[in-house]
């Protein structure tokens, strides 16, 4: 059944390619005197994007300016595909007429069915069908090779772009580490340090004959421990190595100031770097939702999709999150360091969704 579906999809793609080949050739001829105009380049880019969608090809960073050349070059291939489809339709039509005539007991083109004649037509029809289907596969493969040849970026340019991306990613990682250090210092200075100073003062007053302050001293010590533990978890969650990502995310949900629903569907543990990045994305997203979005529910979903671990955190808050803010920028750099993708969707009025795709392969 799947083979039949794939065959029908192939026939449909080649047929559509014959139609778009005529349209593309007509576009190239009509716009020939206006090739340098921006509107013509935009239209050529859209036609090219349509062809890549038809071929199910993804060519990121494809070369600009080669779209019109590609549309002109693929016209003969597309028309060839149309002829192959036409031959297939004619062959199927002849076979149906032949079968229908012989079922009704009538002669077809003066021929009545005999065993040698049936064997001849069956063998010949199968051979022609095989050749026609091979032609369809060949046209599809030729179109793909042509698209890659004319539209894929130059290898040297692609390498240069990749080096630039890695340089930016490295700089982003350094900036993210520095920002995280400053954040930890601020948390220690404004939170734990102030709490310990107050604790020291309470201890001094209690020593001077104020026993009623002992209970308050105990509460302050407990609060200082809680804050210190929070800072330590923001540096790196120790339970992540021991218990894995599901338990660490459950801990995030327990400590959150808002209701959190966690779904973690991972058939196996991802690499440590991916696991840590997934944790920090989820943790920071929950923290932002609790602090800024006035959310009442945060939904956290972590699952494996192909070679990616996808982390998706959505809240029912008021939206308007700034993707260029310090926390989200740090997450984007952390994800980029792993060659992942990071997106923030937060329209005014909500809901907000933060999604990170982290490669594992």
Clarify whether residues 145 and 93 are in a common domain.
yes
The residue behind tokens 């440590």 is 272
Clarify whether residues 124 and 186 are in a common domain.
no
Question: Does residue 50 fall inside a structural domain?
Answer: yes
Clarify whether residues 213 and 247 are in a common domain.
no
Question: Does residue 62 fall inside a structural domain?
Answer: yes
Q: How far is Cα 88 from Cα 217, in angstroms, rounded to an integer?
A: 89
Our separate counts of H helices and E strands in the chain read 11, 5
Answer yes or no: is pLDDT of 70 > 80. Answer: yes
Question: Does residue 352 fall inside a structural domain?
Answer: yes
Could you report the per-residue pLDDT of 278-292, keeping only the tens digit for each?
888 888 888 888 888
Half-sphere exposure of residue 319, counting CA atoms within 13 Å on the CB side? Answer: 9
pLDDT for 217: 65
How many domains would you assign to the chain?
3
Question: Does residue 166 fall inside a structural domain?
Answer: no
| In contact, 274 and 360? CB cutoff 8 Å | yes
Clarify whether residues 257 and 284 are in a common domain.
yes
Question: Does residue 158 fall inside a structural domain?
Answer: no
Please state whether the predicted TM-score (pTM) of the whole model is above 0.85.
Answer: no
Could you report the per-residue pLDDT of 37-68, keeping only the tens digit for each?
888 888 888 888 888 888 888 776 666 667 88
DSSP-assigned letter for residue 258: S
| In contact, 304 and 267? CB cutoff 8 Å | yes
Overall residue count recorded for the chain in this entry: 361
Clarify whether residues 185 and 210 are in a common domain.
yes
The sheet that has 259-265: what strands, in order across it? 259-265, 297-305, 308-315, 352-359, 341-345
Clarify whether residues 56 and 123 are in a common domain.
yes
β-pair partners for 357:
310, 341
| In contact, 342 and 336? CB cutoff 8 Å | yes
Q: How far is Cα 146 from Cα 207, in angstroms, rounded to an integer?
A: 86
Measure CA 24 to chain center: 30
Clarify whether residues 304 and 183 are in a common domain.
no
Clarify whether residues 17 and 138 are in a common domain.
yes
DSSP for 185-245 reads HHHIIIIIIHHHHHHHHHHHHHHTT-TTHHHHHHHHHHHHHHHHHHHHHHH--HHHHHH-H
Domain that holds residue 318: 240-359
Clarify whether residues 103 and 187 are in a common domain.
no
Identify the CATH number of the domain in which residue 338 sits: 3.30.565.10
Q: What is the CA radius of gyration of the chain?
A: 33
Half-sphere exposure of residue 291, counting CA atoms within 13 Å on the CB side? Answer: 8
Q: How confident is the model at residue 176 (pLDDT cuts 50, 70, 90)?
A: low
Answer yes or no: is pLDDT of 85 > 60. Answer: yes
Could you report the per-residue pLDDT of 118-156, keeping only the tens digit for each?
888 888 888 988 888 899 999 999 999 988 888 877 667
Q: How far is Cα 358 from Cα 342, in angstroms, rounded to an integer?
A: 9
β-pair partners for 51:
none
Could you report the per-residue pLDDT of 24-33, keeping only the tens digit for each?
889 888 888 8
Clarify whether residues 264 and 226 are in a common domain.
no
Q: Is 271 helix (H, G, I), strand (E, B) or coil?
A: coil
What letters, b where the CB count within 10 A reaches 16 and e where it falls short, cover 151-161? bbbeeeeeeee
Q: How far is Cα 229 from Cα 238, in angstroms, rounded to an integer?
A: 10
CA angle 300, 303, 306 (to 5 degrees): 150
Domain boundary among 235, 269, 299: 235
pLDDT for 283: 86
For the chain, the average pLDDT equals 80
Question: Does residue 299 fall inside a structural domain?
Answer: yes
Clarify whether residues 245 and 147 are in a common domain.
no
Clarify whether residues 146 and 205 are in a common domain.
no
């Amino acid at each position: 059944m799947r083979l039949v579906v794939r065959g029908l999809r192939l026939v449909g793609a080649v047929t559509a390619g014959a139609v778009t080949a005529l349209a593309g050739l007509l576009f190239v001829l009509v716009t020939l005197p206006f090739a340098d105009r921006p509107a013509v380049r935009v239209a050529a880019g859209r036609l090219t994007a349509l062809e890549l969608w038809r071929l199910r090809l993804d060519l990121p960073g494809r070369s600009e300016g080669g779209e019109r050349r590609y549309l002109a070059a693929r016209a003969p291939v597309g028309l060839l595909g149309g002829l192959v489809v036409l031959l297939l339709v004619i062959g199927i039509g002849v076979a149906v007429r032949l079968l229908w005539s012989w079922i009704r007991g009538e002669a077809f083109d003066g021929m009545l069915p005999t065993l040698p004649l049936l064997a001849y037509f069956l063998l010949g029809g199968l051979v022609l069908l095989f050749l026609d289907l091979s032609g369809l596969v060949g046209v599809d493969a030729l179109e793909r090779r042509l698209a890659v040849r004319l539209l894929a970026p130059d290898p040297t340019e692609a390498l240069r772009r990749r080096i630039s991306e890695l340089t930016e990613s490295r700089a982003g990682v350094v900036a993210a580490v520095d920002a995280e250090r400053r954040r930890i210092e601020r948390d220690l200075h404004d939170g734990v340090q102030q709490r310990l100073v107050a604790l020291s003062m309470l201890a001094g007053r209690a020593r001077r004959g104020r026993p009623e302050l002992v209970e308050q001293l105990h509460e302050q010590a407990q609060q200082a421990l809680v804050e210190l533990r929070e800072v330590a978890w923001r540096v790196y969650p120790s339970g992540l190595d021991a218990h894995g990502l599901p338990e660490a995310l459950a801990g995030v949900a327990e400590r959150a100031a808002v209701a959190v629903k966690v779904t973690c569907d991972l058939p196996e543990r991802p690499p440590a770097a991916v696991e840590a990045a997934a944790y920090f994305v989820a943790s920071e997203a929950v923290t932002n939702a609790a602090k800024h979005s006035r959310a009442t529910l945060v939904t956290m979903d972590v699952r494996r999709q192909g070679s990616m671990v996808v982390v998706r955190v959505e809240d029912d808050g008021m939206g308007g999150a700034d993707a260029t803010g310090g926390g989200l920028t740090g997450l984007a750099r952390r994800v980029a360091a792993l060659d992942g993708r990071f997106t923030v969707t937060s329209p005014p009025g909500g809901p907000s969704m933060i999604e990170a795709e982290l490669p594992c392969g």
